[in-house]
Structure 1
C-alpha cells in the first residue's frame, strides 16, 4: 500500500512539474520580448540593413520655381523610397518620392539659377545609398512672375492691384501702407490661386498715401516691394435709411396676378428668420436671423429665372461698387450649405434709371453691367465643402462687384438674377450695399 501510494504521488508531481515548466517558459518568452526595449520595438522592419543600390537619373525638366527629376529605380528589393536633398537659402530641404514612381518634383527655389541636388535610395531600415548628384536649373518662380505684373491704382475708397498668375500657384498678395513713423503697415492679404484677378483694399481715406504690394509663396519667398503714392477716390456707403421698395410689373416683388387677395411672391416663413424685400437694407449682415431681424429669400418655385427687384436709393449716386451678402446658415441643425451653393446668386445684371416707366418695361432703363460671382479660390464646383477659408470670408465680408468707370448717376436700381450656384430658380441674400458718390 505504501509503495503504490508513493508511485501515485510521484505521478501527480510529474504532471504538476510539467505544467509549471510550461508556464515558466511562457513567462520567460514574454519577458524576453519586452526586454528588447522601445528602441528595438520601434525600429524599422526591413528586408535587411545593407546599403541599397542608387538610382539612375534619366532626365531633368526645369519648370517655374522648380524641377522634375526623372530616374530609373535600382533592381533592389531593399529600396523603400527615393529622397532628394537640396538647399534653399542655406537651409537643407528634402523631398521624398514613392518607390512606385519614377520622377520627383522639386520646388520652393527663390530664383532661377543653378542648384545641386543629391538623390538617395532609402532602405526599409532607413539606410541611404550613395548619393547621385544632379544639377537643376529652375526658371523664374511663380511669386516673381506675379510680382512683375503688379501695379497699384487708386479706386473708389481704396486701391487695387491687377495681377496675372499663369502657373496657378498658391500665393499671397499683401498690401501695405507707409505710416507716419516710416514703417510699412499691413493692410490686407489676399490668398489666391487664380490665374488672373484684381486685389482690392477698401475703406481707406481719400488722402495721398504711400502704398506697397508684395507677392509671397508658401516657402516664404517674398518679392521686392512695389511702392507707389496714390490718393483713393472718395466714396461712401449709400444711406440705407433712404432706401425703399419700388415694385414694378414683372418684378418678383410685384403683386402676383390672378390672386385674391394679391400676394407677394417672396418667402415669409414664420419664425424662420425670413423677411420681405426690406430685409435687404436692414443693416444686418450676420446671424442670428429672426422675425424682427430677417434676411430676404425669394422662393416662388413657379417662376423661372431671370427675375428682378427694383430699389429706390432715395437719391442719385455715381455708383462705384455693389456688395452682395449671400445667405449663411452655419449651425448644428443647418449645415453651411448656401455659400457658393443653393441660393447664392451666380450671374446677375444691374440696371439704372432716374425716371422708370411704371409699366415695368425695360426701355427706360440703362444696363450698368453684367456680373458673375467668382470664388477667391477659383473653384467652379458648388458647395461649401468645396470652399476654402478665403471663400468663406465672402459670407461675412460680402462679395464686391465694381461698377464700370464713367457711368451716369442713378437713383433707381434694378437687380436682375439669371442663375444661382445651386442651379435653382430662386435666390436669397442677407444684405445689399451700394457705394459711390452722392449727387448734390
Structure 2
C-alpha cells in the first residue's frame, strides 16, 4: 500500500483524470471479446452460405446470402467462368452479405461456386448457384452505335446507359495496305458516346467499330461504307474582331486579332483581369465547325500561370448578336440570348505524367504543336465565336494564347 501511495504521489494532480481513463480503457479491452477471431490455426471446414438469392444485371449478377455462424470466417469467395477459357474470382469480407460477379462475355446461364473461407484459409463445400446475366454493356453499346458521315471521316454516336467503362475501337480501310487500320482505342465511362475517325477525302470508304471491356471481352466488328463530309480549314483572312462589353480587356498590343493572324511568333492574345475571360470574333461566313486546333503560349512551362486549361466555345448564327452574361459553367447546347454553348474542352495534362508545375521540355513541345479538339456533332453552324476560358492552369482570371485554327464546312 505504501508503494502504491508513493506512485500516486509522484503523479501530478492534473494528470490523474488521464491516468484513470487509460486504466479504464485497458481494463475494458481485456474484458471485451471480438466476435471474429483475428488469426486462427483452426483447420475446421466452415459451414456453407445459405439462403442464396440472385439479381441478374448486364454482364453481371449480384448474389446475396446468409453467412454461416462462425467466428473463424474471413471472407466469401465466388469462382466462375466468364467465357470459354477465363475463370475469375471475386471476394467479399464477412462484413458483407452480397457479392458481385461480373465480366461475363455474353448473355446466358453460368454456374458460380460460392465458398465460405476461414481465417486458416480453409474452404467450405461449394454452393453452386446458377446466374443468367443480361446482355453485357459492351455488346449493348456496340449494337446501339449510330454510324454516320462526319467531317473527313465517320462519327459513332450512342448511349452508355449504365456508365460502364469500355473501349471503343475505330477502324478505317487503308488503300495503301488494302486492309483495315485500327486507331488507338478511345476509353469511355460517360453516359453518352460521340467519337469520330477523321482524315479522309470525301470519297466512299469502309469504316468499322467494335467495343471491348476491362475483362478482355470483345464485340463483333460492325462495318459500314459511307462518304465522309467535306472538311477544310476556315479562311482566317475573313475573321474579324467583334468586341462585346463583357469581353476581357487586352493587355497592350496583345490584341484578339493576333489570336487568328496565322502566326505562332510575336504577340498573341493576352487579356487583363476580368470577370469573364472571353474574346469574340466573326468568321466572315457561316460554317459548320468540325474541330479546332488551339496553340497556347509556350514559356518556361506552359502548364502554369495564365494558359488555358478549360475552354468553352460559344457560337451564334444571327447577324450582329448582342452581348449576353454567359455562365462560367454550362452544358453543351445551353442557350443564352443569341449564343449557344457549342462544347466544353479540357487541355490534356502533360503527357509525361509529371505534375503540371513540373512539366518537361517534351510536354511543352506537345502543347506547342497544338491541341486538336473535336467539336460535338450536335453543334450548330455559326457566324460568330466567343472563346471563353473558364479555368487557367494557374487559377488566374486572365489568359494568354497564341493562335486558334478552325476546320469545317463553310456554307456558300
Q: When the two structures are superposed, what TM-score results if normalisation uses the length of structure 1? A: 0.65
Tell me if the contact between 1:243 and 1:281 (Cα under 8 Å) persists in the aligned partners.
no
Is 1:397 matched up with 2:375?
no
CA distance in 2, matches of 1:48, 1:159: 63
Deviations 1:223-255 (A, max 9, x none): 111111111112112244x366535463737xx
CA distance in 2, matches of 1:328, 1:142: 42
From 218, 226, 235, the equivalent of 1:230 is 226
Where in structure 2 are the equivalents of 1:105-184 lying within 5 Å? 105-180=100-175, 181-184=177-180
From 370, 386, 390, the equivalent of 2:341 is 370
Q: Residue 221 of structure 1 aligns with which residue?
A: 217
Q: Residue 201 of structure 2 aligns with which residue?
A: 205
Where in structure 2 are the equivalents of 1:383-422 lying within 5 Å? 397-402=371-376, 407=381, 410=383, 413-415=384-386, 417=388, 420=390
For residues 334 and 439 of structure 1, do their structure 2 counterparts lie closer, same or farther at Cα, with a shift above 3 Å needed?
Answer: closer
Secondary structure at 1:398 match in 2? strand
CA distance in 2, matches of 1:339, 1:420: 8
Q: Residue 44 of structure 2 aligns with which residue?
A: 50
For residues 234 and 432 of structure 1, do their structure 2 counterparts lie closer, same or farther at Cα, with a shift above 3 Å needed?
Answer: same
Q: How much has 1:416 moved relative to structure 2?
A: 5.7
For residues 297 and 75 of structure 1, do their structure 2 counterparts lie closer, same or farther at Cα, with a shift above 3 Å needed?
Answer: farther
Q: How much has 1:154 moved relative to structure 2?
A: 0.8
Secondary structure at 1:127 match in 2? coil
Q: How much has 1:46 moved relative to structure 2?
A: 3.0
Q: Residue 381 of structure 1 aligns with which residue?
A: none
Matched residues, number: 342
CA distance in 2, matches of 1:48, 1:248: 80
Q: How much has 1:111 moved relative to structure 2?
A: 1.1
Secondary structure at 2:146 match in 1? coil
Q: How much has 1:373 moved relative to structure 2?
A: 1.2
CA distance in 2, matches of 1:284, 1:186: 34
Deviations 1:305-334 (A, max 9, x none): 4844225x5x64633334264869998896
Is 1:298 matched up with 2:236?
no
Is 1:281 matched up with 2:247?
no
Where do 5+ consecutive residues of structure 1 fail to align? 1-43, 254-264, 269-273, 286-291, 378-383, 386-393
Where in structure 2 are the equivalents of 1:255-266 lying within 5 Å? 265-266=249-250
More moved, 185-194 vs 225-234: 185-194
From 342, 349, 367, the equivalent of 2:314 is 349
Deviations 1:85-142 (A, max 9, x none): 0012232211111121110001000111110000111222222111111111101110
Tell me if the contact between 1:328 and 1:336 (Cα under 8 Å) persists in the aligned partners.
no
For residues 406 and 374 of structure 1, do their structure 2 counterparts lie closer, same or farther at Cα, with a shift above 3 Å needed?
Answer: closer
CA distance in 1, matches of 2:139, 2:299: 38
Tell me if the contact between 1:369 and 1:404 (Cα under 8 Å) persists in the aligned partners.
no
Is 1:310 matched up with 2:295?
no
CA distance in 2, matches of 1:367, 1:376: 27
Secondary structure at 1:373 match in 2? strand
**Which structure has the larger Rg?**
1
Two-structure CA RMSD over aligned residues (Å): 4.1
For residues 194 and 61 of structure 1, do their structure 2 counterparts lie closer, same or farther at Cα, with a shift above 3 Å needed?
Answer: same
Q: How much has 1:374 moved relative to structure 2?
A: 6.2
Q: How much has 1:275 moved relative to structure 2?
A: 4.9
Tell me if the contact between 1:112 and 1:137 (Cα under 8 Å) persists in the aligned partners.
yes
Deviations 1:150-202 (A, max 9, x none): 12111222210111111110011111023345532103422111112311122
Q: Residue 328 of structure 2 aligns with which residue?
A: none
Q: Residue 186 of structure 1 aligns with which residue?
A: 182
For residues 370 and 57 of structure 1, do their structure 2 counterparts lie closer, same or farther at Cα, with a shift above 3 Å needed?
Answer: same
CA distance in 2, matches of 1:308, 1:332: 24
Is 1:91 matched up with 2:86?
yes
CA distance in 1, matches of 2:300, 2:69: 56
